[in-house]
Structure 1
Amino acid sequence: MTTQVEAIHGVIFDLDGTLVSSELDFSLIKAQIGCPDNEDLLDFIAQLPSPYMREEAMNIVHQHELLDAQHATLLPGVSEAIALLNERNIPMAIVTRNFDKAAALKLKNNPLPISTVLTRSDAPAKPDPSALNAIATLWNISADNLLYVGDYLYDIQAAHNASMRACLYAPNETPPYADQADYVLHDFYDLVALVESYSKKVELC
């Protein structure tokens, strides 16, 4: 049986833990707003019973995100890999669960040649595929030809919800959900070889 693998014409990235470092303590944040540890933070806040409670909870999250943004640094191999993809005219974008001000601060302190950035201020948070779909539309590129790179389960789910291929970045331990990703990277620099290997349609027997 012959399976046709589509070329990769564009790459979309997660931000925290993928392009830049993050030290957000989600257990602490959840404790401060009363969110059970096994629930999604943003979903919990959205379901709080009053606008005041939602605003207060989100203010706490914003404070943590902005503090984290001040200390974020580019992760190993990111600058070099992004530069090489840019040289090859591969469109690139960022989709993050951060809010806009935190994402902007991280990218101001760690400049990258990526101008398209969508945050949860712009579209529903991952694993909702809305932001990924919007970028596919913006670029006029089929989802089959796009790769989403991230370091967490939500990234894999968002990619698949958008009918894109999912690349899990796991520089340290390989998480149990890694088998749900289409590709797993342990070294960010290997992303360039991955994209180049699909620069043309490849047929695998």
Structure 2
Amino acid sequence: MKTQIEAIKGVIFDLDGTLVSSELNFSLIKAQVGCPAEQDLLDYIEQLPSPYMREEAMNIVHQHELLDAQSAKLLPGVLEAVKALQAKNIPMAIVTRNFDKAATLKLQHNPLPIEMVLTRTEAPAKPDPSALLMIARQWSMPVDNVIYVGDYLYDIQAAHNANMRACLYAPDVTPGYAEQADFVIYAFDELVSLIDNYAEKVRVC
């Protein structure tokens, strides 16, 4: 866990369950592709023995993701927080395990002033840190100044794998792995306050 007090100058968000709602039923998807409940779905598909099997399994996942994209809605406080960060000239990006078409649909239906979006189509899926590091390089920003905000363990792991600070968004139930995050927020206005507070700490120091 990172303890430095560098200012937070860039924010990367997860998409599903963080910026927009998601009704993806992973238990059902895993059952349909034959993935054991305890195994990561994308890892399981990648390890299937033939290209045909991998393609068929991924087609099932794509169908679920595209259906989910039709009903996704912005979560409470997201638009206000993003606009507040935009007003502070904080660069923002999105890194999601969705595939590109589903992510595009979700953001078309729920527009946000965030142009940079990386999906598993463009970079290895979280908890691999590649997408986060690509964005930091694009911004020419040290990883110490970037925070990744997400709602799941993979988001925390991806942030720490990239040597970034991890902020867990837990609006309903605080999971056991929350203690692994550097910060936990329960509403999006807390994110804006967090970034303001770190700017103040840096100025004071």
Q: Does 1:48 align with 2:48?
A: yes
Percentage of matched positions with identical amino acids: 73
For residues 45 and 4 of structure 1, what CA distance do their matches in structure 2 show?
Answer: 38
Deviation by residue 1:92-129 (Cα, 9 ceiling, x = unmatched):
00000000000000000000000000000000000000
Residue correspondences, number: 203
Question: In structure 2, what residue type is equivalent to 1:105?
Answer: L
Deviation at 1:202, TM superposition (A): 3.3
Contact 1:99 1:119 in 2 (8 A): yes
Q: How far has the Cα of 1:198 moved from its partner?
A: 1.2
Q: TM-score, normalised by structure 2?
A: 0.96
Please give the per-residue CA displacement for 1:118-150, whole angstroms capped at 9, x wherever unaligned.
Answer: 000000000000000000000000000000000
Q: How does 1:82-161 map to 2 (within 5 A)?
A: 82-161=82-161
Q: Distance in 2 between matches of 1:114 and 1:203?
A: 27
Q: Secondary structure of 1:198's partner?
A: helix
Runs of 4 or more, structure 1, over 3 Å off, are: 200-205
Unaligned runs of 5+ in 2: none
**1:14 and 2:10 are equivalent in the alignment:** no
Q: What do you get for the CA RMSD once the two structures are aligned?
A: 1.4
Q: Distance in 1 between matches of 2:203 and 2:173?
A: 31
Give distance in 2, aligned partners of 1:191 and 1:129: 22
Determine the structure 1 residue equivalent to 2:178.
Answer: 178
| CA offset digits 1:50-87 (Å, max 9, x no partner) | 00000000000000000000000000000100010001
Q: Classify the secondary structure of the residue corresponding to 1:82.
A: helix
CA contact (8 A) 1:5 1:204 kept: no
